[in-house]
Amino acid sequence: MSKLAAPAAAKASSTLPKKESILELSKLQDQLVRVKCIGGRELLGILRGYDELVNLVLDECDEFLRDESHQVTDQKRRLGLVVIRGTQVSVVAPNDGVEEIANPFVAAAEDDE
Amino acid sequence: MTTRLLPLELIDKAIGSQIWILMRGSKEIVGTLRGFDDYVNLVLDEAIEYSPDPHNVNKYIKTELHTEILLNGNQIAVLVPGGAGPSPENVSAA
Q: Model confidence over A66-92: pLDDT tens digits? A: 887 778 888 899 999 999 999 999 999
ipTM over 0.90: yes
Of B2, B7, B83, the CB nearest to A51: B7
B55/A contact by beta carbon, under 8 A: no
Kindly tell me if the per-residue pLDDT of B75 is higher than 90. yes
Report pLDDT digits (tens) over A1-24: 555 555 544 444 456 666 666 778
For B47, half-sphere exposure in the C-beta direction (CA atoms, 13 angstrom radius) is 19
Mean pLDDT to the nearest integer, B53-66:
90
Q: Which residue has the higher pLDDT, A13 or B66?
A: B66
A34/B contact by beta carbon, under 8 A: no
Lowest mean pLDDT among A2-6, B58-62, B63-67, B74-78: A2-6
A25/B contact by beta carbon, under 8 A: no
B87/A contact by beta carbon, under 8 A: yes
Phi/psi zone of residue A103: left (φ > 0), alpha (ψ -120 to 50 degrees), beta?
Answer: beta
3-class DSSP assignment, residue B67: coil
CA–CA distance from B57 to each of A65, B27, B61, B78 (Å)? 10, 12, 11, 19
Mean pLDDT to the nearest integer, A42-57:
96
d(CA A12, CA B72): 34
CA torsion B41-B27-A80-A75 (nearest 10°) is 150
d(CA A11, CA A76): 45
Kindly tell me if the per-residue pLDDT of A61 is higher than 90. yes
Listed in sequence order, the residues at least 6 apart from A94 whose beta carbon sits closer than 8 Å to its beta carbon are A28, A31, A32, A33, A34
DSSP strands (E only) in B10-94? 18-23, 28-36, 42-52, 60-64, 69-71, 76-81, 91-93
A23/B contact by beta carbon, under 8 A: no
Scanning every residue of chain B, which has its alpha carbon at the shortest distance from the alpha carbon of A81? B80
Kindly tell me if the per-residue pLDDT of B39 is higher than 60. yes
Give just the sign of the alpha carbon dihedral B33, A32, A38, B48. Answer: positive
Mean pLDDT, all residues of chain B:
94
Distance from CA of B42 to the nearest CA of A (A): 13
Strand partners, B36: B42
Query: How many residues does this entry show for chain B?
Result: 94
B84/A contact by beta carbon, under 8 A: no
Mean pLDDT to the nearest integer, B3-7:
92
A58-62: long-range contacts, CB 8 A cutoff, minimum separation 24: A58/A33, A58/A82, A58/A84
d(CA B21, CA B50): 10
Of B7, B76, B83, the CB nearest to A80: B83
For B62, half-sphere exposure in the C-beta direction (CA atoms, 13 angstrom radius) is 16
Predicted TM-score of the model (pTM):
0.82
pLDDT of residue B1: 52
Distance from CA of A16 to the nearest CA of B (A): 22
